[in-house]
Amino acid sequence: MLEMERIRRRPKAKVSKRQCHRCYGSGQTTCRSCGGSGYAATSRDPTGQLQSCRCTACYGNKSTRCMACKGVGYLE
Protein backbone atom coordinates (compact mmCIF):
# COMPACT_ATOMS: atom_id res chain seq x y z
CA MET A 1 0.00 0.00 0.00
CA LEU A 2 2.77 2.40 0.86
CA GLU A 3 4.49 1.68 -2.47
CA MET A 4 1.36 2.65 -4.43
CA GLU A 5 1.17 5.99 -2.62
CA ARG A 6 4.78 6.75 -3.54
CA ILE A 7 4.09 6.02 -7.19
CA ARG A 8 1.10 8.35 -7.21
CA ARG A 9 2.97 11.18 -5.48
CA ARG A 10 6.02 10.97 -7.72
CA PRO A 11 6.39 14.19 -9.71
CA LYS A 12 5.88 13.80 -13.42
CA ALA A 13 8.76 14.43 -15.76
CA LYS A 14 8.57 17.87 -17.33
CA VAL A 15 8.72 18.06 -21.09
CA SER A 16 11.07 20.83 -22.08
CA LYS A 17 9.85 22.90 -24.99
CA ARG A 18 12.34 24.80 -27.10
CA GLN A 19 11.57 27.53 -29.59
CA CYS A 20 11.84 26.27 -33.16
CA HIS A 21 15.17 27.11 -34.80
CA ARG A 22 13.68 27.59 -38.28
CA CYS A 23 10.58 29.70 -37.72
CA TYR A 24 11.65 31.26 -34.38
CA GLY A 25 8.35 30.33 -32.76
CA SER A 26 5.98 31.73 -35.39
CA GLY A 27 5.10 28.38 -37.01
CA GLN A 28 5.48 29.90 -40.50
CA THR A 29 8.48 30.01 -42.85
CA THR A 30 9.12 31.69 -46.18
CA CYS A 31 7.85 29.64 -49.09
CA ARG A 32 10.71 27.80 -50.76
CA SER A 33 8.96 27.41 -54.11
CA CYS A 34 8.46 31.10 -54.84
CA GLY A 35 11.07 32.52 -52.46
CA GLY A 36 8.44 34.55 -50.63
CA SER A 37 7.15 36.48 -53.63
CA GLY A 38 3.80 34.69 -53.88
CA TYR A 39 4.20 34.20 -57.63
CA ALA A 40 6.04 31.60 -59.67
CA ALA A 41 7.24 31.96 -63.26
CA THR A 42 5.54 29.42 -65.49
CA SER A 43 6.45 30.18 -69.11
CA ARG A 44 7.31 32.91 -71.59
CA ASP A 45 4.88 34.71 -73.85
CA PRO A 46 5.60 35.27 -77.58
CA THR A 47 7.46 38.52 -76.84
CA GLY A 48 9.81 36.79 -74.38
CA GLN A 49 8.30 38.16 -71.17
CA LEU A 50 7.95 35.77 -68.25
CA GLN A 51 4.42 34.70 -67.46
CA SER A 52 3.79 34.25 -63.77
CA CYS A 53 0.92 32.89 -61.78
CA ARG A 54 0.10 32.46 -58.12
CA CYS A 55 2.42 30.00 -56.37
CA THR A 56 0.83 26.57 -55.98
CA ALA A 57 2.80 25.73 -52.82
CA CYS A 58 1.73 28.72 -50.67
CA TYR A 59 -1.28 29.88 -52.75
CA GLY A 60 0.15 33.41 -52.89
CA ASN A 61 0.47 33.81 -49.11
CA LYS A 62 4.28 33.99 -49.31
CA SER A 63 4.74 31.64 -46.35
CA THR A 64 4.10 28.01 -45.52
CA ARG A 65 3.81 25.95 -42.36
CA CYS A 66 7.19 25.22 -40.78
CA MET A 67 8.10 21.59 -41.39
CA ALA A 68 10.57 21.39 -38.49
CA CYS A 69 7.96 22.05 -35.79
CA LYS A 70 4.88 21.25 -37.92
CA GLY A 71 3.49 24.75 -37.42
CA VAL A 72 3.43 24.64 -33.62
CA GLY A 73 6.36 27.03 -33.03
CA TYR A 74 8.28 24.91 -30.55
CA LEU A 75 10.12 21.61 -30.43
CA GLU A 76 9.84 19.06 -27.64
3-class SS letters over 40-58: EEEEECCCCCEEEEECCCC
With respect to residue 6, please indicate whether it lies within any of the assigned structural domains: no
Q: Model confidence over 13-69: pLDDT tens digits? A: 666 788 998 999 899 999 998 988 998 888 888 888 888 889 988 988 999 999 999
With respect to residue 4, please indicate whether it lies within any of the assigned structural domains: no
| pLDDT of res. 29 | 93
The boundaries of the domain holding residue 27 are: 16-75
Model confidence at 10: pLDDT above 80: no
Overall pTM > 0.85? no
Total number of domains in the chain: 1
**CATH classification of the domain holding 20:** 2.10.230
With respect to residue 47, please indicate whether it lies within any of the assigned structural domains: yes
One-letter amino acid identity for 37? S
